[in-house]
């Protein structure tokens, strides 16, 4: 049987070391929903990495993702050009975001997590919620997808560390302002772990239900290997099938952080090895197709 060809159809840089990519994967969009993810293998020798579905098109049969270059696989992915093919794209995986008419929903995003937040914010708007999108970043250069967020029927507010875009400060200050002045019925936070933890602590104090999307290390993404286990409300959960979204007030962020550091030595070795081969790397179009 001929294997699918996961062809890269579009690609652009969004910020330093952050890229957006569109890939042909026609079986995924008909079943996809906000909050779900895909698992990508760039070449047949490579590892599988989870990336959130930033968008998808049923008409074009494509999926869209945004990724930050942090190690070997994301470095390989960043080298793929339009016309190259990825070895595998599997999905949609994970439970979709719970979307209903909550009332007022604050969607909080930081870093590359803004890409994962985008379909969630859009779905919350479509469900009839009053949505406030609160984004945080180091500076204007590192903020992504503000144009797409602006196009939503939502109130967009931005905070940057240096004040180069929006107000100067942390996104948690925007969350506190929203709690005090606006009274959200629900908060959804996606971004770096320290940000999700800080938002969850703040909203817990004020009794606002909060959902976070965990970026636990994953392998198969289907609940079989246990790599993605995390602690929620004192119970072990598998992020890939029980999540990736969980009640932020119940997540043990210490466990998450320590498990994210479990393979630092191996990742460094892999990066060093790949650095020697990176020049001229291509995923060998057709290898997976
Ligand atoms: C459900 C989910 C959705 C995600 N969505 C996005 C996204 O939309 N955009 C994005 O840039 N990143 C996303 N991530 C994180 C992304 O998967 C990792 O950055 C990527 O796997 C790193 O691989 P690497 O080889 O480049 O780096 P490595 O050098 O292997 O790792 C760098 C760091 O990334 C983390 N990591 C490594 N391997 C994995 C893995 N298999 N699964 C999860 N984390 C890992 C670890 O903290 C590690 O220290 C998501 C993670 C999860 C679990
Ligand atoms: S990634 Fe294997 S169980 Fe979740």
- Per-residue model confidence as pLDDT tens digits over 74-112: 999 999 999 999 999 999 999 999 999 999 999 999 999
User: Which pLDDT score is estimated for 28?
Assistant: 96
- Contact 37 CB / ligand 2 (< 6 Å): no
Number of structural domains, the chain? 2
Q: Which domain holds residue 114?
A: 104-259
One domain for residues 18 and 71 = yes
User: Which pLDDT score is estimated for 90?
Assistant: 95
- Contact 50 CB / ligand 2 (< 6 Å): no
CA of 219 to the centre of ligand 2 (A): 6
CA of 205 to the centre of ligand 1 (A): 30
In angstroms, the CA 70 to CA 268 distance is: 11
Predicted TM-score (pTM) of the model is 0.93
CB-based pocket (< 6 A), ligand 1: 37, 49-52, 65-68, 70-74, 112, 115-116, 215-218, 244, 260, 264, 267, 271
Which listed ligand is nearest to 217 at the C-alpha? 1
> Does residue 36 lie in a domain region?
yes
Tokens encoding 218: 């994953």
User: Which pLDDT score is estimated for 289?
Assistant: 40
> Does residue 160 lie in a domain region?
yes
CA of 121 to the centre of ligand 1 (A): 22
Nearest to 251, CA basis, from 230, 267, 265, 266: 230
Taking a C-beta distance cutoff of 8 angstroms, is the pair 99, 190 a contact?
no
For 252-287, write each residue's pLDDT tens digit: 999 998 888 888 888 888 888 887 776 778 776 644
> Does residue 214 lie in a domain region?
yes
One domain for residues 109 and 208 = yes
> Does residue 284 lie in a domain region?
no
Low-confidence residues in the chain, pLDDT < 50: 1, 286-289
């Amino acid at each position: 049987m001929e294997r699918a060809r996961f062809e890269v159809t579009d690609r652009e840089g969004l910020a330093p070391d952050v890229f957006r990519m569109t890939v042909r994967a026609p079986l995924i969009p008909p079943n996809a929903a906000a909050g779900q993810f895909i698992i990508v293998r760039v070449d047949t020798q490579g590892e599988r990495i989870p990336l959130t579905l930033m968008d998808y098109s049923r008409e074009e049969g494509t999926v869209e993702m945004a990724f930050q270059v942090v190690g070997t696989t994301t470095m390989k992915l960043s080298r793929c050009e339009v016309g190259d093919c990825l070895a595998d794209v599997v999905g949609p995986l994970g439970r979709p975001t719970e979307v209903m008419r909550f009332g007022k929903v604050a969607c909080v995003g930081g870093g590359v997590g803004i890409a994962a937040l985008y379909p969630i914010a859009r779905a919350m708007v479509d469900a009839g919620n009053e949505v406030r999108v609160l984004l945080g970043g180091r500076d204007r250069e590192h903020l992504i997808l503000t144009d797409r967020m602006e196009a939503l029927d939502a109130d967009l507010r931005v905070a940057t560390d240096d004040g180069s875009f929006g107000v100067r400060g942390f996104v948690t200050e925007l969350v506190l302002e929203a709690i005090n002045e606006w009274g959200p019925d629900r908060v959804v936070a996606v971004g770096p772990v320290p940000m999700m933890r800080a938002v969850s602590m703040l909203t817990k104090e004020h009794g606002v239900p909060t959902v976070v999307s965990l970026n636990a290390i994953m392998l198969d993404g289907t609940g079989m290997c246990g790599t993605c286990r995390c602690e929620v409300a004192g119970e072990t959960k598998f992020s890939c099938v029980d999540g990736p979204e969980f009640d932020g007030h119940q997540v043990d962020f210490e466990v998450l952080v320590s498990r994210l550091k479990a393979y630092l030595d191996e990742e460094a070795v892999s990066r060093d090895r790949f650095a020697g081969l990176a020049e001229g790397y291509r995923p060998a179009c057709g290898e997976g197709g």
